[in-house]
Structure 1
Amino acid sequence: MINESVLLESRTLRTSVLERTDVLDRVKALSLLPDGLHVTTAMVAAYYEVAETAIRQLIQRHRDELTGNGMAVLRGSELQDFESDNLSPSKRRSLTIYSRRAVLNVGMLLRDSEVARQVRTYLLDAEHEVRTHPVDNLVHRVTWGNLHERIDNRITDVLGKTVVPMLNVLIETSGEQRRELISLREDVQQIQMKLVEHDLQISRLQRGQEVRALTGVIGTIDAMNWKEFELHVAELLRRDGCTDVEVYGGHGGDRGVDITAKTADGRTVAVQCKNFAPFRHVLSGEMQKFLGSSKVLHQADVALYVATCAFTRESLAIAAQGGVTAVHRGLLEAWSAGVRLQVLR
């Protein structure tokens, strides 16, 4: 068994376990901003029970690594947009935000934090358990794989299309219970993430493939330009059995969509691709525009809005009402790594 301290010295080892963000919640509950994706420097410091200065000093030494794993500094209009959705307005000139992956990265670098030490120990224990898992147990899981997959997908679909939108509406209209509802929504989103991870594991086993970590998947996507991103999404559609996949590449004939295709069972597909910075949000006006293009102009049976960021509450509500599947950053990562979208099955 490797000692947890080696994570402090080996960036390669840190990279190999960065997908295990579930460890954060196993060690201690991690509070997230209302977007369900990010935390601030103060929230990172509170989680690891250290002063904010310790986090800032860590950033100075490891800025490139943390930035590559989801840390970003917001300024100007980007900061204003983010604050309007997630924080009370302030006079701050900049704001550093962290994804769950970046928070985990911090835990593998912090020396003087008991919580960080527990995170490192838990990470290596979990990794050791995965690598030494008996073969017979894996075979048993494959035997029941189809049943687990159907149950997971049904629950995920209900949570994403019914429960989360309902909580969003309640949060918007509630007063005293707002904080409790936000906490409940975070719990539901955590369940969704775990179900997606479980579906990913089952899918890998069913295809007879070796378990492949998500490490680097979202980083590769972030490095793409808009054209490369559209081609990437087109390949995902083909991988999942779609035919007649056509990428318009932004020219005038697209009529408001970036990709069209047909599912294996003949349903028409219209796709919007947005290669946004991870701290941005897809706004309600953008979703309304795509809803009109996909459902009215193209009369698509399946409408996918694929983005490298999150969606605002309002845009998610519009998507749910109009029958648009919102493929947010987390779901995009899982889809790119091998999970098939439920709507394409």
Structure 2
Amino acid sequence: MIEESVLLESRTLRSSVLDRTDVLDRVKVLSLLPDGVHVTTAMVAAYFGAAVEGIRALVHDHRPELEASGYRVLAGTELSYFKQLSGIRSRTPSLALFSRRAVLNVAMLLRDSEVARQVRVHLLDMEHLARTQPVDNPGLTEPVPLDVRIDQRITHILGRTVVPMFNALIASSGEHRRELIELRQDIENVERRMCRHHKRLATPEGENPAENVRSTLKAMTWQAFEQHVVGLLRRDGCTDVVVRQTRSDRGIDITGLTADGRTVAVRCRNRPGRRTVPHADLQKFAGAARVLHRVDLALSVATCGFSHESRAIADLTGVVTVDREEVEAWTAGVRLKALR
């Protein structure tokens, strides 16, 4: 099992486990701002039983890493918009915000905190359990040929078990680091080739797979597109995936659980004739997924692009956008990164 000291020293290893934010609540309840997504510096300090100045010093020393995991400072128009969205009443000219991923990142950096130490212990226990338990995909409901099921299982194991194992080995290795990085790259190349191979097997000879995927998506009705996304979620290991029968959920079309137990809400937008998803649509979905239902993972999936304003709202609220190119790649067999 990986030692806690390796987690403290290795940014690569820390980055590989940032999605396991549920471990925070296993140790202590993390209070969130009214938006259901962010916490302030003072709230982070309270969670870890640390001084506010200590958290600020940690941010100063590791700012690029923390920004990559969701830390940001709002000011001006962006701060005003956030206050309006979340209902915060404050006259401060700037506001530092941490996402749950950023809080977990702090736990993996903060040495003088018993709460942070417990988070690291639970996190490493979960990673060890994930690597040693057999992988299963209960979402496959339709009969699939045995050789295809074996190939799919191998691809699944490569992505969810072998690559993370190499990440941990690379993080704890000194002498053979370069060789391990090259081996990991080889494994990732095999995974990509197997995904492409699966797609070629399903495509008639003489057809262009990319064009075939694009035309198939373009011909879908919005109901067919929702069912298509349901199938992709199940293929990637999600369970309890259902299409919402009512439209009173403010933009949530699909709900379910990821393979590692996170709650997920999905907004599907089949807009092949449109250029972008309007920001009002993204704002409504973000409010429903993050504030009303407080899901762990919110996905906005569209057959077009996202406007600059939409992406800004997504970044601010933690919504993961999946545009046309990503939907096509997902359809062609590439696993959606947010579900890994």
Q: So what's the TM-score if we normalise by structure 1?
A: 0.49
